[in-house]
Amino acid sequence: MRTKQLFILLVTSVAILLSSCQYEFVVEPELPPIDPTVDIKFATEIAPLFESNQCLACHKTGGTAPDLTADKAYASIVPALINSADPETSLIYWYPHPDASTHNFKKYKKADAELILAWIKQGAKNN
C-alpha cells in the first residue's frame, strides 16, 4: 500500500512540475525603416541607448573600454569604432549586434542597432 502511495505522489509531483514550466518566445515587433532624411542626434538618441541596453554595467569610467558614459561616449567611439567607408563593419554597430556571436553579455535590440547604423551612415556626428 505504501509503495502505491509513493508512486502516486511521484507521478503527481512530476506532472505538476512539467505542467508548470512554460517558455514564452519574445518577438521584437517589426519597426518601420528609419527615415534617412531625419538627422539622428547623438546626445538624445544614440548616447541614451548605451544606458537603456545596460552597456554601462561594464563600459563606464574606470571599467572596460570604450567608456560609454554620456559625457565620454562620443570621444570613445569616434573615430576608433567607426568605419565611415563601410558602416556595417563599424565595431560599435556589429560587435554587440543582436545577430552577432561576438558579444555574449549584452546585445542591442534590433531597432537600436539599426538606429546606430543609420547614425554612422549620416556621418557619426556629435550633435
Closest by Cα among 34, 47, 48, 51 to 118: 34
> Could you give the CA distance from residue 21 to residue 29 in angstroms, rounded to a whole number?
25
C-alpha cell at 70: 554620456
Whether residue 102 lies inside any domain: the answer is yes
Whether residue 71 lies inside any domain: the answer is yes
Whether residue 63 lies inside any domain: the answer is yes
Evaluate whether 120 touches 93 at the Cβ level (below 8 Å).
yes
DSSP 73: H
Whether residue 49 lies inside any domain: the answer is yes
Digit-coded pLDDT (tens) for 57-70: 889 999 999 999 99
Q: Which residue has the higher pLDDT, 12 or 43?
A: 43
Digit-coded pLDDT (tens) for 110-121: 889 999 999 999
Banded pLDDT at 23 (limits 50, 70, 90): low
Mean predicted lDDT score pLDDT of the chain: 86
User: What total number of domains does the chain contain?
Assistant: 1
